[in-house]
Structure 1
């Protein structure tokens, strides 16, 4: 089973409730994911998004760029939240989502992956290591980042926060 990076956009009120009632948040997110599984909305219209197994490579590349927001793991824990797959969810406040969206607008997917070879990710033990050890290109990492850009932009425009977890 692979570890998949998962995101859910939530209103400021939903984020506040999620922080105090993580069980409610898990149920709400599950319902949204089920609804969107049928319609597969484009990232700018989606309430939930996953970035597959690209999460660790994305985090590695963003740290190299000095990205100011942890859009891969989130920044604030949901107190008393149970494991949502591979640990409890974390969140980004609407303000941090806005900061991330502004920074993402300045950093294109090609710029993010430029000059980085798979062997560098393999040497750094970036998940999933076997992909990088085989020398596979970083194309899918750039594609997932490109999907996150409109997802975060739409969230920022609506004043939404974000729940983030590995499922």
Structure 2
């Protein structure tokens, strides 16, 4: 399971809202072409999300803040939710994508800018991540927090570029 981000213009975001198939094709093309509009966090997505949440980030930069589709009012691991996800038109991996608006991206970029790798993991007890069942669940190994933290410079650059260009960001797990 890997975290992914795709920078899109406001017009592309509007197009994606009405045509997820088009958005999926765009995301696949940009990811496969290793475009600078795409980046990912690999399996560190959940750890990064946990650490940013711990620092008070209001919107999930990893999972997005806005959904493209309306989810049923069902428990995450329920049969109803599995049926819903299985019947989606477009296979983005682990559920449909979500997004951050250009305003949310700009706020995220400004919050990320002064953050250091040390800030991200300072005073974090790795057992906390195990207790919270954060994927991939290997937090007892030495160096796992440093592994997540090493993604921060790339995340900062990606969000700074997106904010500079007024882009939104589509977020998904595959």
Normalising by the smaller structure, the TM-score range is 0.7 to 0.9
Aligned equivalents of 1:132, 1:71: Cα separation in 2 = 21
Aligned equivalents of 1:102, 1:75: Cα separation in 2 = 17
Correspondence for 2:149: 142
1:26 aligns with 2:30: no
Q: Is the 8 A contact 2:66 2:99 kept in 1?
A: yes
Aligned length: 156
Correspondence for 1:92: 100
Q: Which runs of 5+ in 1 are unaligned?
A: none
Q: Is the 8 A contact 1:81 1:88 kept in 2?
A: no
Per the TM alignment, residue 136 of structure 1 is displaced from its structure 2 partner at its CA by: 4.0
Residue aligned with 1:132, SS: coil
Q: Among 33, 38, 53, which residue is 2:43 paired with? A: 53
Aligned equivalents of 2:114, 2:141: Cα separation in 1 = 31
Per the TM alignment, residue 120 of structure 1 is displaced from its structure 2 partner at its CA by: 2.0
Q: Is the 8 A contact 2:24 2:90 kept in 1?
A: no
Task: Give 1 or 2 for the bigger CA radius of gyration.
Answer: 2
Q: Kindly report the root-mean-square deviation, in angstroms, between the aligned alpha carbons of the 2 structures.
A: 1.5
Per the TM alignment, residue 69 of structure 1 is displaced from its structure 2 partner at its CA by: 2.2
Aligned equivalents of 1:83, 1:76: Cα separation in 2 = 18
Instruction: Compute the TM-score of the two structures, normalised by the length of structure 1.
Output: 0.87
Deviations 1:49-85 (A, max 9, x none): 0101111111111111111221010011113763400
Q: Is the 8 A contact 1:118 1:135 kept in 2?
A: no
Instruction: Compute the TM-score of the two structures, normalised by the length of structure 2.
Output: 0.84
Q: Which runs of 5+ in 2 are unaligned?
A: 70-87
Correspondence for 1:159: 166
1:5 aligns with 2:13: no
Aligned equivalents of 1:64, 1:151: Cα separation in 2 = 21
